[in-house]
Amino acid sequence: MPNTYLKIDHVSKTFPTPTGEFCALDNVDLAINQGEYISIIGHSGCGKSTVLNVVAGLLDPSEGGVILENREISGPGPDRAVVFQHHSLMPWLSVYENVALAVRRVFKGKKSKAEMHDWIVHNLTLVHMDHAMEKLPSEISGGMKQRVGIARALAMQPKVLLMDEPFGALDALTRSHMQESLMEIQTELNNTIIMITHDVDEAVLLSDKIIMMTNGPSATIGEVLEIDLPRPRNRVRLADNPTYNHYRQQVLSFLYERQRNPLDTKAKTEVSAETETPVETEKSVENRTPETAVTKSEPEKGDPQPPQDQPALKIVDRSGQAA
């Protein structure tokens, strides 16, 4: 295979539970080229974060392994930076110091103090946050915090950028700004990116390939959709592009026809009542122009918890409205 840069090699993952072993992933196998933008999409609980955490080295696979540039990874490393759904900035450090912390860890002894300073400012400029370097996380908006998180990850100059629903907690307008910034950054830096998303439009707009996962337990890759749309991509122009809409349709059909949401078939009423939020059903998807993907997302164990004012349910659509 030409230019395989990152290989997720026949990865399976079981977790011990009080009622016995739980097989979350079964034989996930994927080859990724350098500079590719990969999205992983699938229903809540199918195992997306588990895949990402295995690549990050935060979880050991039960079988198989991850090979980056011909070397098997073991444990986390600065060659794989992670951006979580909810920012994980140190609240007592300024924007500048949050990025500086990561930069010092990676470049100590390799860059001079002045070079490190320039590098921190450069990365904050990339995400348009250089105007707020002295502010504390509590003094900036959610979207700005997420941009600092991305700057911090980029500043580590990782070989692979791993993002677990990086824009999930943002309103639709901020989310689209962030998507534009990320496309610009990727054009400039040619990063290899794996991003988890629940948003079909986001996946098609940003990706070279969309990895569609089957429902768990024993989840695996159901289909891989190659997105052959020229870059730079413009969301407004793509809205009327038949190829773009064909790709969206394929992802929606996978999610809502071939892999129905497990919440649709069992305990739908209980879940709806419990959460007091609408759960997407196949019917509701059919009955409206499906501009959106709607899913419930729980924070990962060990992730920073969402601030109370941020919804756990995301509804994102191309009309730029969040519900």
Cβ(294)–Cβ(41) below 8 Å: no
Pick from ligand ATP, Mg ion, none: which does 45 bind, CB < 5 to 8 A by kind? ligand ATP
CB of 142: closest distance to ligand ATP in angstroms? 19
Give the Cα separation of 99 and 46 in Å (integer): 32
Pick from Mg ion, ligand ATP, none: which does 44 bind, CB < 5 to 8 A by kind? ligand ATP
Q: Residue 160: CB partners within 8 Å, gap ≥ 6? A: 6, 55, 68, 79, 80, 81, 191, 192, 193, 194
Question: Residue 87 is encoded by which pair of tokens?
Answer: 């920012």
Q: Residue 282: CB partners within 8 Å, gap ≥ 6? A: 256, 257, 260, 261, 264
CB of 303: closest distance to Mg ion in angstroms? 9
Q: Residue 237: CB partners within 8 Å, gap ≥ 6? A: none
CB of 167: closest distance to Mg ion in angstroms? 14
Query: Which of the ranges 42-50, 73-81, 109-117, 138-146 carries the binding residues for Mg ion, by CB under 5 A?
Result: 42-50
Number of residues that bind Mg ion (CB under 5 A): 1
Pick from Mg ion, ligand ATP, none: which does 15 bind, CB < 5 to 8 A by kind? ligand ATP
User: Of the two residues 49 and 207, which places its CB atom closer to Mg ion in the complex?
Assistant: 49
User: Of the two residues 123 and 215, which places its CB atom closer to ligand ATP in the complex?
Assistant: 215
Question: Residue 285 is encoded by which pair of tokens?
Answer: 């998807």
Give the Cα separation of 293 and 205 in Å (integer): 14
Site of tokens 């034989």: 27
Give the Cα separation of 13 and 219 in Å (integer): 10
Question: Residue 56 is encoded by which pair of tokens?
Answer: 């990050």
User: Of the two residues 49 and 292, which places its CB atom closer to Mg ion in the complex?
Assistant: 49
Among 39, 49, 53, 94, interactor with Mg ion by CB under 5 A = 49
CB of 97: closest distance to Mg ion in angstroms? 29
Residues binding ligand ATP (CB under 6 A): 15, 17, 22, 24, 42, 44-50, 216, 297-298, 300
CB of 290: closest distance to ligand ATP in angstroms? 19
If DSSP codes are grouped into helix, strand and coil, which group holds residue 291? Answer: coil
Residue 197 touching Mg ion (CB under 5 A): no
User: Of the two residues 87 and 318, which places its CB atom closer to Mg ion in the complex?
Assistant: 87
Give the Cα separation of 323 and 317 in Å (integer): 9
Helices (H), the chain: 48-56, 95-107, 113-126, 142-155, 172-189, 200-206, 235-238, 242-253, 262-265, 268-275, 282-287
User: Of the two residues 49 and 259, which places its CB atom closer to ligand ATP in the complex?
Assistant: 49
Cβ(165)–Cβ(196) below 8 Å: yes
CB of 199: closest distance to Mg ion in angstroms? 14
Give the Cα separation of 112 and 54 in Å (integer): 33
User: Of the two residues 35 and 217, which places its CB atom closer to ligand ATP in the complex?
Assistant: 217
User: Of the two residues 84 and 247, which places its CB atom closer to Mg ion in the complex?
Assistant: 84
Pick from ligand ATP, Mg ion, none: which does 103 bind, CB < 5 to 8 A by kind? none
CB of 48: closest distance to ligand ATP in angstroms? 4
- Which residues form the interface with Mg ion (CB under 5 A)? 49
